């Protein structure tokens, strides 16, 4: 077998390889994409059994597809974990590739779970809608500012027929008028796109029983439920709700030593979109469930509004995890949730 450690860059990759049968060691720098494709296709054509290891990267989808097509085994490792294994202060591409190779040979490579291609493609649907909504929100805020400058303050009523007529009726200077017209046109183009994407998400939820089950929880819609299922991947990957909260970046940074314990802001690791959706969903839950409202108000008085919102988002993430893990809908959770096992009490899901 040929084992290859890859230090991957957008323009090139530095590799360090060893043939486990002959002991032959080789180092190369392969330009993307032509030179790299030629090299790996040559190994596949020769009938060689190959295993490739690399750090998780956001720019290597084409490379992963290539290796999958050639049926070459690919290990993707946790970049932070690999970084902690580096002993030398000096850092070069060659040393990085050699380190990955060394970890693979020692069977100490920190391999991570990789979602399927279908999962990744559905995440693109969620991200696309999320970005479109963000763009529309920025446009709407600018139009609200135009209205306020003209003495019109009607908040959400601005987007009703009468509010829009008022907004369009203001006499503005030429370039201000042009800006208002362009912003309205952009918003009119975004609305049907967002509606189409939302409909596509609802269609995907119909195919996903786990997401439909999570949607029974108050405040959790199709977008939040599907995003949670796609980003968590498999409930069995995590042993507790605390691990899920850590994976989503909803736990505080800690810098403790000796008798001193210091907690900071949340880590914000993982998906920023998932954290945003959980915070939004948790606020709806707070408005609809008295128990959550009481907990939220108590936290808000003690720690402030922002901290309380994040705490409720973490609570919701843990609750959704256990509903998924146990295969329960919301009614079953209310009936059996207090007996979900000791991990439930430990994670604070009550």
Q: From edge to edge, which strands make up the β-sheet containing 50-55?
A: 25-31, 12-19, 2-8, 50-55, 73-77
Take residue 164 and report the two structure tokens written for it.
């829009």
User: Rounded to an integer, what distance in angstroms lies between the CA atom of residue 194 and that of residue 135?
Assistant: 11
User: Rounded to an integer, what distance in angstroms lies between the CA atom of residue 64 and that of residue 136?
Assistant: 34
73-77 and 50-55 strand pairing = parallel
pLDDT tens, residue by residue, 15-60? 999 999 999 999 999 999 899 999 999 999 998 899 999 998 878 8
pLDDT bucket at 340, cuts 50 / 70 / 90: low
Instruction: Name the phi and psi angles at 23, rounded to 5.
Output: 80, 10
25-31 and 50-55 strand pairing = unpaired
Asked if the model's pLDDT at residue 341 lies above 70, the reply is: no
The predicted pLDDT at position 206 comes to: 95
Instruction: Name residues whose C-beta falls within 8 Å of residue 112's C-beta, 6 or more positions apart in sequence.
Output: 56, 76, 77, 78
Task: Quote the pTM value.
Answer: 0.86
261-273 core/surface letters (b: 16 or more CB in 10 A; e: else): eeeeebbeebbeb
């Amino acid at each position: 077998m040929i084992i290859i450690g890859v230090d991957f860059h957008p323009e090139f990759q530095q590799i360090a390889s060893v043939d486990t049968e002959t002991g032959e060691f080789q180092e190369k720098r392969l330009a993307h994409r032509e030179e790299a494709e030629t090299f790996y296709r040559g190994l596949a054509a020769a009938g060689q059994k190959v295993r490739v290891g690399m750090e998780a990267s956001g720019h290597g989808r084409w490379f992963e597809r290539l290796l999958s097509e050639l049926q070459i085994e690919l290990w993707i490792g946790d970049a932070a974990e690999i970084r902690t294994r580096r002993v030398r202060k000096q850092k070069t591409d060659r040393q990085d590739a050699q380190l990955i190779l060394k970890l693979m040979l020692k069977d100490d490579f920190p391999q991570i779970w990789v979602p399927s291609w279908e999962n990744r493609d559905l995440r693109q649907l969620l991200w696309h809608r999320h970005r479109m909504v963000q763009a529309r929100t920025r446009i709407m805020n600018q139009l609200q500012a135009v209205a306020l400058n003209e003495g019109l303050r009607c908040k959400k009523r601005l987007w009703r027929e009468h509010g829009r007529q008022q907004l369009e009726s203001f006499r503005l200077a030429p370039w201000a008028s042009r800006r208002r017209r362009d912003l309205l046109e952009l918003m009119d183009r975004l609305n049907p796109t967002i509606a189409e994407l939302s409909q596509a998400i609802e269609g995907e939820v119909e195919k996903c029983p786990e997401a439909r089950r999570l949607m029974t929880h108050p405040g959790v819609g199709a977008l939040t439920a599907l995003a949670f299922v796609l980003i968590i991947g498999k409930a069995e990957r995590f042993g507790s709700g605390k691990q899920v909260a850590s994976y989503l970046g909803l736990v505080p940074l800690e810098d403790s030593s000796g008798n001193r314990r210091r907690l900071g802001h949340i880590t914000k690791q993982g998906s920023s979109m998932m954290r945003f959706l959980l915070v939004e969903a948790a606020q709806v839950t707070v408005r609809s469930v008295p128990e959550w409202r009481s907990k939220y108000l108590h936290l808000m008085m003690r720690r402030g509004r922002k901290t309380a919102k994040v705490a409720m988002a973490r609570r919701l993430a843990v609750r959704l995890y256990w509903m998924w893990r146990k295969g329960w809908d919301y009614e079953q959770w209310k009936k059996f949730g207090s007996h979900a096992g000791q991990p439930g009490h430990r994670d604070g899901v009550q």
